Amino acid sequence: MTDLDRLRDVLVRNEVLVDVLDRARGLGLPEWYLAAGCVVQTVWNVLTGREPTAGIADYDLVYFDGADLSWAGEDRVIRAAAETFADLAVDVEVRNEARVHLWYEAKFGVPCPPFASTEAAIDAFPAICSCVGVRLEPDGRWRLYAPHGLDDLFAMIVRANPVLAPRAVFERKAARWLGRWPELTVLTSR
């Protein structure tokens, strides 16, 4: 069984996630993925026998538009997505990963070099297990991007990603996750 098959078999149990994937496909966003928390948390919920949607605060929809780094451009996409997902009882957070370097240092205290793609942004997510994105291609095929594979995710191991995230960001995220999924193993050394 491939990583994609293994992940898809779990994610389809979260009907909200599948609905968001299907609707996101219609937005026509460049290099988009549903990424990080909603994917990771769905897997952990299923592995631990919880409701697949339990505790998922938002669904991260990331894309890359390097031709428009303006807030106005990103805001147009956010508003279009808000209309697309308006009837869902979840927050879908939309971010243009091409703009992250413009605000990252002010929020997290360390500079972030500009990303060259959505995949490069996923490469820099704070925990190895959360470096994952999925999307539906126009023909309905699932696409997976997981630069570190899925072993940590399915083994419920949380380890810091040395690529970018400050230690404090990782520690806050790991503590929040551990509070919700005490079955996790958090590795504190990089």
Give the mean pLDDT of the chain.
93
Q: How confident is the model at residue 189 (pLDDT cuts 50, 70, 90)?
A: low
User: In this predicted structure, what is the pLDDT of residue 165?
Assistant: 67
pLDDT of 8 strictly over 60: yes
10: left (phi over 0), alpha (psi -120 to 50) or beta: alpha
Give the pair of three-digit tokens for residue 175: 């503590």
| Gap between the Cα atoms of 142 and 140, Å rounded | 6
Query: How many other C-beta atoms lie within 10 A of the C-beta of residue 1?
Result: 8
Instruction: Provide the total of helices (H) and of strands (E) in the chain, helices listed first.
Output: 8, 7
Q: Rounded to an integer, what distance in angstroms lies between the CA atom of residue 98 and that of residue 153? A: 26
Residue span of the structural domain in which 50 resides: 3-187
| pLDDT tens, residue by residue, 16-46 | 999 999 999 999 999 999 998 899 999 999 9
Question: What DSSP string describes 135-175?
Answer: EE-TTS-EEEE-TT-SHHHHHTEEEB-TTS--HHHHHHHHH
Percent of the chain residues topping a pLDDT of 90: 83
**pLDDT in the model for residue 164:** 67
- Number of Cβ within 10 Å of residue 157's Cβ equals 15
Lowest mean pLDDT among 58-67, 83-92, 103-112, 114-123: 103-112
Beta-bridge partners for 128: none
Q: Is the Cβ–Cβ distance between 118 and 133 less than 8 Å?
A: yes
**What pLDDT band is residue 70 in, cutting at 50, 70 and 90?**
very high
Closest CA to 89 of 69, 128, 67, 59: 59
Reply yes or no on whether the pLDDT at 1 is more than 80.
no
Number of structural domains the chain divides into: 1
Distance CA 61, CA 79 (A): 13
